[in-house]
Amino acid sequence: MFQPHSAEQLAALAVRAREQEVPLKVLGRGANVLVSDDGFDGVVVRLDHASFRRVERRGSQVDVGAGVDLMPFARACSALGLSGLECMAGIPSTIGGAIRMNAGGRSGEFGNVVKNVRVLRPEGDTETWSKERCGFGYRHCELGDNIVLSAQLELVEDDPAKVRLAFEESFAQKRDSQPLGDRSAGCIFKNPVGRSAGALIDQAGLKGAQWGAARVSERHANFIVARRGATASDVLHLIDLIRERVRSAFSTELEVEIDIWRPMGVRR
């Protein structure tokens, strides 16, 4: 685990890891990651040093570091009347993770407010990518192995009371529909085009299905919640079971949304 103090230090590490063919991954809050019970045999980077947590506002434009926590940041923007991040209420994330995953929901995605993103390439140099180059799509972007260092966001100045209310309403909606108090990695599967993965899992009769200490949430069937003692294998077993049942009931292939980290050469 490496917690760099600067982009220069991170660049030196990235170059060394590349030369020595050691896999390198950035961990945000880990809210979308499942780590294999066998661990991950590479370097894990966390951008939690102050130099990756800077925030600077110029009118409706905000520069924000990749290590900044999304929720408090989005709430603070709302309180200042900066609109655009209300739909991020209830999403546990860093800014880097939100960009990499293009986090969001029905009412919007993080990519919508991005003007450009500063990245560190595996070769050790930095580049600024425009929103268009980032190629944001549904829980997807084109950043590949580049590390997000910071982003420039374009928000909209509005009435603070109105924006704050929209943020809190969005948060309340999330709390009502998702098991936010349980340990999970959010939605396990992407929604197939025009359909809801949660509804398909529910219709396949899998709400409440359990393996070991992992369980398909009763509140939202696209969440697998990990109770005390749950292993990654328990979760992976449920993932296989869900995919198999949904395939045979609806001839639909569910695609995993979470990022699964395994040692090199291990398929599962």
4 binds ligand FAD (CB under 6 A): no
152 binds ligand FAD (CB under 6 A): no
Between 95 and 206, whose beta carbon lies closer to ligand FAD?
Answer: 95
Strand 55-58 versus strand 82-83 pairing type: unpaired
64 binds ligand FAD (CB under 6 A): no
CB of 66 to ligand FAD, least distance (A): 4
Which residues of the chain form beta strands (DSSP E)? 24-26, 33-35, 43-45, 55-58, 61-65, 82-83, 104-105, 108-109, 114-120, 126-130, 147-154, 156-157, 210-211, 214-216, 224-226, 259-261
Do 113 and 153 contact (CB within 8 A), yes or no? yes
Sole residue written with tokens 């939605």: 187
220 binds ligand FAD (CB under 6 A): no
Pick from 246, 86, 243: nearest CA to 156? 86
158 binds ligand FAD (CB under 6 A): no
- For ligand FAD, the binding residues in 169-188 under the rule CB under 6 A are 178, 180, 184-186
Report the residue from 11, 24, 29, 216 that binds ligand FAD according to the rule CB under 6 A. 29
CB of 251 to ligand FAD, least distance (A): 26
- For ligand FAD, the binding residues in 185-214 under the rule CB under 6 A are 185-186
Count of residues of this chain found to bind ligand FAD when the rule CB under 6 A is applied: 32
Pick from 57, 54, 86: nearest CA to 67? 54
**Beta-carbon count within 10 A of 180 CB:** 17
Between 135 and 205, whose beta carbon lies closer to ligand FAD?
Answer: 135
Span interacting with ligand FAD, options 74-82, 87-95, 195-203, 240-248, rule CB under 6 A: 87-95
Strand 43-45 versus strand 24-26 pairing type: parallel
Interface residues toward ligand FAD, by CB under 6 A: 25-33, 47, 66, 91-94, 96-98, 100-101, 103-105, 139, 147-148, 178, 180, 184-186, 259
